Amino acid sequence: MEHRGFKCIPFSDGRFRYRYDLIKNQESKPIIFIGLNPSKGGTEKPSDRTIDKFIDFVTGKFKDDFKGFTPTEHQHILICNLFLTVEGNSTRLGDEELMEDSAHKIAVEILDDKKYESAPVVCCWGNVKNVKGKNIKKNAKTAIDNLKEHLKRHQCYRLSDNPHESLYFARSWSSRAGEQNWGKPLTEIPKELFEN
């Protein structure tokens, strides 16, 4: 399966998507995106509008002064999520769709893998305080707290004009999150936020 010149390698059984790699150049530096829940990209189809934005980003479609790395050097996109359940609209996830333990373990394995130790991480799980469902909100916060120790070993970024806002707020790249997100610069997350 290919999309826009990227070889698409999904790890999915249809109900869950464990990770999703899109590779244009096998020798290229990887970049990791961590979202909230998997879209149907990599399951029913190779991509969607969110994944296309990731591709736009690494192919130089965004004009910005990115400090710390050059997006076009990263032609290996690696996507993982706080939840594994495939659902294009996070508001449809009910309390019964709890975070599977394997979601956290997969993210930790990726972040700690020596192959990806220099990979920048873009956090884009949205505002978990606004997530529907009490149990999902609790589990999303727990997942982020459990990832802090592993995230702090990487240069991490999010769309924000306030680098010190809560780590539970990392703007989604989904079109459902609103185009106002694109008025925000990609900002490095200070290391001290991973200590609290």
pLDDT tens digits, 47-98: 998 999 999 999 988 766 666 778 999 999 999 998 888 887 777 776 555 5
Burial class of residue 68, CB neighbours in 10 A (0-12, 13-18, 19+): exposed
Name the pTM for this structure.
0.93
Q: How far does Cα 71 stand from its chain's mean position? A: 15
Q: Please, how many CA atoms are within 13 Å of residue 19, restricted to the half-sphere of its CB?
A: 16
pLDDT band at 38 (very low <50, low <70, confident <90, very high): confident
Confidence of residue 132 (pLDDT cuts 50, 70, 90): confident
CB 120 within 8 A of CB 69: yes
Residue 104 has pLDDT above 90, yes or no: no
Q: What letter represents residue 116's amino acid?
A: Y
| Contact (CB, 8 A) for 87 and 38 | yes
Cα gap 34→135, rounded to integer Å: 20
Task: Give the pLDDT band (50/70/90) at residue 147.
Answer: very high
Residue 178 has pLDDT above 60, yes or no: no
3-state helix, strand, coil in the chain (%, to 5): 35, 25, 45
- 10 Å Cβ neighbour count for 182? 12
Can you give the residue range of the structural domain that contains 141? 2-194
- The pLDDT of residue 24 is 97
Average pLDDT of the segment spanning 104-121? 93
Is residue 65 classed exposed, middle or buried when 0-12, 13-18 and 19+ CB atoms within 10 A define those classes? exposed
User: Cα separation of 122 and 17, whole Å?
Assistant: 18
Specify the range with the lowest mean pLDDT, choosing from 21-30, 62-71, 186-195: 62-71
Total domains, the chain: 1
